[in-house]
Amino acid sequence: MSIHIKTPEEIEKIRVAGQLAAEVLQMIGEHVKSGVTTQEINDICHDYIVNTQNAIPAPLNYRGFPRSVCTSINHQVCHGIPGGRVLKDGDTVNIDITVIKDEFHGDTSKMFYVGKPTVKAQRLIDLTYEAMCTGINMVKPDVTLGDIGHAIQTFVEKNKCSVVREYCGHGIGKNFHEDPQVLHYGKPNSGDKLAPGMTFTIEPMVNAGKRHVRLLPDQWTVVTKDHSLSAQWEHTILVTEDGFEVLTRRPEEYWA
């Protein structure tokens, strides 16, 4: 599969899907509280996507995934399956939303606190958001994917945390996952050069401890090997003629 440069019409459809995904994260915030199960979060998101947005939750049945969103708690890195687990004060949870509208995808995730976070969790979540922004702010034509990965990795490791290497960002459009792969580590001046019309996600997973992960027996949920906290943020990005557009930007977010 080669990198598909999107037409203006395709970009507009991804923009619409991206804003729908952002809306889901805005909507679900008030429901993330102590005593709620991750299944309840899934069901609220599913109902909103299907019945309010008249859209499709992309994860449901994707390669066999059994739910409409991913919920990854504390030391879970990504792809947590919603179920009977009850959220409690002090938990952190990443909610990952991908919406399909008019055949095109919008993909984004956000970290949420349950009650008051620990100092360590707050630091990791803020650091991970800044790592994502570090990558996003580099996006413009002729920058390489290696430049972006190197910048994210350097920032994270300077702050004594680690970047997960087994999972990465990805091209997005009519397909949920397409070229290019967007690594969150790497070497400057390596990999594909960015060009206007490219759309992809930047979604660093950052561990408070070592970078190593393992896959649970459910064949989806990824956790840190050393049981350290993990955090992730994700946005869908468009390369423009002179920079970037965050297609999944929420109202509280700003970019220069």
Tell me how many degrees the CA angle 145-62-7 measures, rounded to the nearest 5.
Answer: 50
Calpha distance 176→178 (Å, rounded): 7
Residue tagged 């390369």 (tokens): 239
DSSP H/E element including 28: helix 8-28
CB–CB of 234/202 below 8 Å?
Answer: yes
| Average pLDDT of the chain, as a whole number | 97
pTM for this prediction: 0.97
- By C-alpha distance, which of 157, 135, 156 is closest to 144? 135
pLDDT digits (tens, 9 = 90+) for 83-108: 999 999 999 999 999 999 999 999 99
pLDDT digits (tens, 9 = 90+) for 195-238: 999 999 999 999 999 999 999 999 999 999 999 999 999 999 99
Mean pLDDT of 157-185: 97
pLDDT digits (tens, 9 = 90+) for 19-55: 999 999 999 999 999 999 999 999 999 999 999 999 9
Mean pLDDT of 66-86: 98
Give strand pairing partners of 99.
Answer: 57, 106
Q: Which amino acid is at 230?
A: S
Calpha distance 140→228 (Å, rounded): 34
Check residue 1 and give its pLDDT. Answer: 61
> Does the pLDDT at position 255 exceed 90?
no
Check residue 46 and give its pLDDT. Answer: 98
> Does the pLDDT at position 77 exceed 90?
yes
Check residue 27 and give its pLDDT. Answer: 98
> Does the pLDDT at position 256 exceed 60?
no
> Does the pLDDT at position 254 exceed 90?
no
> Does the pLDDT at position 242 exceed 90?
yes
DSSP H/E element including 157: helix 145-158
Question: Is 61 exposed, middle or buried, given 0-12, 13-18 or 19+ CB atoms closer than 10 A?
Answer: exposed
